[in-house]
Chain A
């Protein structure tokens, strides 16, 4: 997981507070994500930070890929151009999305299982996690046979280990501590 510098969070927070007033959370989130995705392309940041090319031209180039951007998102991007911090954009997009999720009480859960989960099972896991955390949980799934069975859910910094491997590990530790 990449480190999220505090500055990206502050830009995101500023934009978020405007978006919340205007009710444009979803629209801006997709715009930011699209722009962020462009910046994630290797070489894109270097190309867009080339000195000598006027900002308006750079912005036009960016918009030719992302499609037209709303005024405020555009202003934010101009600001980043001016400050030579365009590299922060993907992180701002992440921070914005995180802030939107927080606002709506949604948690992202990363669920790992030994065998692929059926949609039904995924729903059960999501439901159980929601009960436990008191928030709506959106689940993304991975398959990792090395956990042997059960599931491992990671929500934020919390790790809920209900896998066979985790239990065996805990048992090993307990036996090790006493004998």
Chain B
């Protein structure tokens, strides 16, 4: 019964969304206040209905109601509770319901906190948001209904893919979706502004927090996914340039570009048309990502419920929304004339360079991802595009971005001087060069990637510190230090996020170039060297877990005779899903991770063992978290908390 109520709530939500998508828009056009006022309550009702439906589905997973097809296919009574709940979104239907829920919640957030938005803009934003809601609710109900019942409920379920039974992955999809769907807010604001024919600083001030929030969620979601791949897949890789990973990376790159261009709109009333276009493209790429993941047109290690019919539906949604918005853009973009003028050397230009590099990088990822499809369809060639291509074609843009970041971030608005901002950065440059030279001297005869990573990482981090310090003005060091604490949070957010980017760049280069790998057969009781460590395989035993069987190794790691750690790598078999997995044992450290994997028993009596030293692995996740934390600091800046967008900010008049 309760399941039918959930189903019913979902259908009602579609009806409410239909009303929300049409009447307020008409009202905004006619200037009818009552019709416009409908948008808020409708958004709240839609969110409540979808939340109820989601609650019902979660309930069905918690009590293992196998009369539901989704629960039967993705759950099992013996599964730990956390994964029963996570199983709600660990499948196609449930994850789409989560998608729709987040979409509705964002809409409700505008209805709740958007009291200070102009009435017309608010009605239009909510209407556009509801249009997306209508499309996805229809998609959910017509092609992937999570409330489909089975005629004869089976005794037990078929279990969730064991690779997904993991705390890191349980929270990876919700974060990604919060990010993907968060970009729908930027899209709705962009389309509403196009209908309105007006973009100003207040508009940018409204769009930026939403984009920032979406970007923070995407950053955390991607980092979680990457961390999961690192410890779960068993060979210590952290990024595979897989189509599904790329699908989340492209919106991230464009959201990062959008964040920066919205600053220019907010502070200088320039780059308006471009910012609108970016907002449309960022959400467009979220939809493309959804299409890639859900349609299965591009083979990927992430084999979700792939279905061509669903793919066509999403392709239609993608075409209608992105295409429609772009047509609107073509018609109306002329009205968005820029106000703030700026010189070729200025903060504005630096941010444009940032935007060009990020957008082109996103495009390179895009073409690399879909090229196999294009080549197959139009050229009759069956090709693959993988890591070597992306390393060669994508990395240069990131290198350029890291190089221009410190001086660009310190340039003055309107008209800057490269010489002046570089002069302040001389200590940062010297430090970066010195440490890179040191790294080069220490590593003897390996790729140049490591020292280059040190150079870029130190340059960006020291540049961020220099930037922050320069904000404290002149005077004695003590005085400036005191002023440091009083700087706006946005300044701190900028420095922390840029510093996080530097650390991430360094960690990626370090992991790619200084990894130590060892593969060998080891007898029980035998030791082998790994870098400066000594590893001994003590014993291998068979163990049973709650819903799996495990072959458990015990390995002792020593260094110069002193005990470092005892690690227990496992091989697991999940009988219900008929899937074996490897569980690497990792000793996390500040400068390196020790990463041990147990392989098969050999005919000779020993065990195959893979061991790695992963240098600076933790720095990668720390760098990503710092980026997200920097975003959070910016988001908590007073300007956004106090009456965001209430007053129309007048930019500094141009010369």
Our verdict on whether A and B bind, yes or no, reads no
Interface residues of A (CB under 8 A from B): none
Interface residues of B (CB under 8 A from A): none
